[in-house]
C-alpha cells in the first residue's frame, strides 16, 4: 500500500468527493449506523465540508441514524454556532426528537452548548416570514410589504433582547422608522405569535419572543407619533437610571408590562416568567430582562461574558475610566449612556474605592493573622520540645538517684567520687 502524501485523499475520501461532485444526494447515506457525511462533518465542526455537502443536495433532515440523530443535533453537540445556523438555514426541523425523545436544542443544552441552544431556539426562517409578503386568500395586498421583510427579519433573529438594542436595530433602517411600517410589522409579529401557540407543536419560546418584539415595535410607533426627536427619546427613556443607584426603572417596567400583556394566559412559559419576576422589587436581581433572556435564548447566567451597559451586546470591554464599574461595547454606547451615568459615576467610584480599601485591609489582616499563627505554632512547638527535654531530664535524674547498677560506673567516674576514694 502506497503511503499518502500530505493533502492527498484516501480512496474512500476520493469516492466521497466523487459522489458529492456528481450531485447524487441519494447516495450520501452510505456510512454505517445511518450516519450521513453531513452528520459527520457537522459533528466534527467542519463548516466548509457542511457547506459543500448542502450545496450538492445533502438532505439536512435525513433521519436514518440508528438513534434518530439529525445533522442539526450533531451541529448542536459540536458547539459550532455557524454550523448550527447553516443546518437551520438549510431547512433543518427543530422539533424532531431522537430515540430518547430529545430535540436538537435539548441535546445541545444537555452537553452545555448554550450558544447553539440560543441559535436553535431563536431561529425563524426568512421563508416563513416571506409568507406574509404575498397576498393570501382575498387580500389585495400582502400584510407585510416585501421591502420590510429583510429589516424585520434582522430584528427577529437578534438574540440580544435588550430593548435599547432593539430600538437601535429599528433605527438603523430608515424603512422601519415610520409609524405605518412599524404598525404592519407589529401586526405580523402578533400573527406569528398566534400561529406559534395554535400550531400542533406549540412553540412557547418563539411565541413569547414574537410578542415581545411586537410590543417593542408598538412602543417605537407610539414614540414616533408624538415626538420630534424620533427614537432617540425612547432610547433615553430606556437608559435613564434612577438617582439613587442608576437602575433603569422605565426599562424594567416596560419589559414587565410586555410580559404581562402576553395574550395567552395559560401558557406555562408565561406563568414561569411571572412567578420569577413578580416577587422581585424593582431594582433588585433578577431583572425582567435577564429572566426573559434566559427563557427565550436559553442563556444561563451572565458569567462568562461581559455585557454592554447600554445595549446589552456580549463581549463589551471598554470600561468607564472614572468609576470602572460599567462597561460598553463601543464609545458610542458610552456617549449614549453618559447623560444618566454621570449622576452616579462619582458615587460608584467612591463605592469601588471603599470596597478596594476594605478588601486590601482584609488581606492585610489575613496575612497578619497568618503571621501570628506561624509564631504561635513555632513557640508552641519549642515549648513542647522544652517540655519533652525537661521530662527526659527528670527521668534521668530519677533513674540516677535510684542507684541502679548500670549507672554505677557513671557515678564512679565522677571526679568528686575519685577524690573521695583517694582520701
Interface with Zn ion by CB under 5 A: which residues? Answer: 308, 310-311, 313, 320, 322-323, 329, 333, 345
CB 129 within 8 Å of CB 100: no
**Under 8 Å CB-to-CB from 342, ≥6 apart: which residues?**
none
Among candidate residues 299, 292, 206, 300, the one with its CA nearest the CA of residue 257: 292
| Cell numbers found for residue 75 | 451541529
For Zn ion, give the closer residue by CB, 40 or 314.
Answer: 314
Taking the complex as a whole, how short is the minimal distance between the CB of residue 256 and Zn ion, in angstroms? 23
* Whole-number CA gyration radius for the chain: 36
Q: Residue 214 CB: number of other CB atoms within 10 A?
A: 21
Taking the complex as a whole, how short is the minimal distance between the CB of residue 115 and Zn ion, in angstroms? 19
Please give the Cα distance from 58 to 52 (Å, whole number).
Answer: 9
For Zn ion, give the closer residue by CB, 15 or 350.
Answer: 350
For Zn ion, give the closer residue by CB, 97 or 322.
Answer: 322
For Zn ion, give the closer residue by CB, 346 or 363.
Answer: 346
Taking the complex as a whole, how short is the minimal distance between the CB of residue 327 and Zn ion, in angstroms? 9
For Zn ion, give the closer residue by CB, 164 or 217.
Answer: 164
DSSP labels, 89-136: HTT--SS---TTS--HHHHHHHTT-HHHHHHHHT---HHHHHGGGS--
Taking the complex as a whole, how short is the minimal distance between the CB of residue 154 and Zn ion, in angstroms? 17
Taking the complex as a whole, how short is the minimal distance between the CB of residue 58 and Zn ion, in angstroms? 39
Taking the complex as a whole, how short is the minimal distance between the CB of residue 320 and Zn ion, in angstroms? 3
For Zn ion, give the closer residue by CB, 117 or 333.
Answer: 333
Taking the complex as a whole, how short is the minimal distance between the CB of residue 215 and Zn ion, in angstroms? 22
For Zn ion, give the closer residue by CB, 113 or 309.
Answer: 309
Please give the Cα distance from 50 to 72 (Å, whole number).
Answer: 11
CA-angle at 164, arms to 159 and 170, nearest 5°: 80
Q: Which DSSP letter does residue 263 get?
A: S
- Cβ density class 296-313: b for 16+ within 10 Å, e for less: bbbbeeeeeebbbbbbbb
Taking the complex as a whole, how short is the minimal distance between the CB of residue 160 and Zn ion, in angstroms? 9
Give the containing element (helix H, strand E) for 319: strand 318-319
For Zn ion, give the closer residue by CB, 84 or 310.
Answer: 310
Please give the Cα distance from 180 to 173 (Å, whole number).
Answer: 14
Please give the Cα distance from 60 to 70 (Å, whole number).
Answer: 8
For Zn ion, give the closer residue by CB, 59 or 313.
Answer: 313
For Zn ion, give the closer residue by CB, 175 or 322.
Answer: 322
Kindly report whether the peptide bond that precedes residue 341 is cis, defined as omega within 30 degrees of 0: no
**CA 332 centroid distance within chain:** 24
Please give the Cα distance from 43 to 53 (Å, whole number).
Answer: 14
For Zn ion, give the closer residue by CB, 165 or 256.
Answer: 165
Please give the Cα distance from 186 to 184 (Å, whole number).
Answer: 5
Taking the complex as a whole, how short is the minimal distance between the CB of residue 56 and Zn ion, in angstroms? 40
Among candidate residues 10, 67, 9, the one with its CA nearest the CA of residue 33: 67
- Cβ density class 158-170: b for 16+ within 10 Å, e for less: bbbbbbbbbbbbb
Taking the complex as a whole, how short is the minimal distance between the CB of residue 169 and Zn ion, in angstroms? 12
Residue carrying the nine cell digits 504561635: 376
Among candidate residues 164, 115, 144, the one with its CA nearest the CA of residue 299: 115
Taking the complex as a whole, how short is the minimal distance between the CB of residue 309 and Zn ion, in angstroms? 7
Amino acid at each position: 500500500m502506497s503511503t499518502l502524501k500530505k493533502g492527498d485523499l484516501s480512496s474512500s475520501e476520493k469516492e466521497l468527493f466523487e459522489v458529492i461532485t456528481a450531485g447524487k444526494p441519494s447516495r450520501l447515506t452510505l456510512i454505517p449506523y445511518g450516519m450521513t457525511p453531513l452528520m459527520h462533518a457537522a459533528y466534527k465542526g467542519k463548516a466548509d465540508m457542511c457547506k459543500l455537502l448542502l450545496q450538492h443536495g445533502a438532505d439536512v433532515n435525513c433521519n436514518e441514524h440508528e438513534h434518530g440523530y439529525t445533522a442539526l443535533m450533531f451541529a448542536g453537540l459540536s458547539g459550532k454556532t455557524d454550523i448550527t445556523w447553516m443546518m437551520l438555514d438549510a431547512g433543518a426541523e427543530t422539533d424532531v426528537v431522537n430515540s430518547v425523545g430529545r430535540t436538537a436544542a435539548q441535546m445541545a443544552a444537555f452537553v452545555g452548548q448554550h450558544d447553539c441552544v440560543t441559535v436553535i431556539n431563536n431561529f425563524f426562517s426568512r421563508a416563513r416570514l416571506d409568507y406574509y409578503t404575498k397576498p393570501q386568500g382575498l387580500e389585495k395586498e400582502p400584510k407585510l410589504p416585501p421591502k420590510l421583510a429583510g429589516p424585520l427579519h434582522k430584528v427577529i433573529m437578534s438574540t440580544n433582547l435588550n430593548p435599547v438594542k432593539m430600538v437601535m436595530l429599528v433605527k438603523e433602517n430608515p424603512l422601519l422608522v415610520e409609524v405605518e411600517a412599524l404598525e404592519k410589522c407589529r401586526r405580523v409579529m402578533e400573527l406569528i405569535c398566534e400561529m406559534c401557540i395554535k400550531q400542533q407543536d406549540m412553540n412557547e419560546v418563539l411565541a413569547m419572543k414574537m410578542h415581545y418584539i411586537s410590543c417593542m415595535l408598538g412602543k417605537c410607533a407610539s414614540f414616533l407619533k408624538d415626538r420630534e426627536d424620533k427614537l432617540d427619546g425612547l432610547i433615553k427613556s430606556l437608559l435613564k437610571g434612577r438617582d439613587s443607584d442608576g437602575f433603569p426603572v422605565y426599562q424594567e417596567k416596560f419589559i414587565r408590562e410586555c410580559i404581562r400583556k402576553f395574550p395567552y394566559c395559560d401558557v406555562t412559559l408565561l406563568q414561569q416568567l411571572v412567578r420569577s419576576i413578580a416577587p422581585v422589587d424593582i431594582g433588585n436581581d433578577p431583572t425582567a430582562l435577564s429572566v426573559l433572556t434566559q427563557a427565550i435564548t436559553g442563556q444561563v447566567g451572565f458569567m462568562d461574558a461581559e455585557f454592554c451597559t447600554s445595549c446589552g451586546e456580549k463581549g463589551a470591554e471598554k470600561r468607564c475610566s472614572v468609576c470602572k464599574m460599567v462597561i460598553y461595547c463601543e464609545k458610542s454606547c458610552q456617549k449614549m449612556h453618559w447623560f444618566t451615568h454621570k449622576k452616579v459615576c462619582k458615587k460608584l467610584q467612591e463605592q469601588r474605592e471603599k470596597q478596594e480599601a476594605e478588601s486590601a485591609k482584609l488581606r492585610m489582616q489575613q496575612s497578619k493573622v497568618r503571621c501570628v499563627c506561624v509564631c504561635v505554632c513555632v513557640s508552641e512547638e519549642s515549648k513542647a520540645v522544652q517540655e519533652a527535654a525537661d521530662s527526659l531530664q527528670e527521668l534521668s535524674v530519677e533513674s540516677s538517684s535510684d542507684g541502679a547498677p548500670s549507672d554505677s560506673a557513671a557515678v564512679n567516674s565522677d571526679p568528686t567520687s575519685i577524690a573521695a576514694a583517694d582520701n
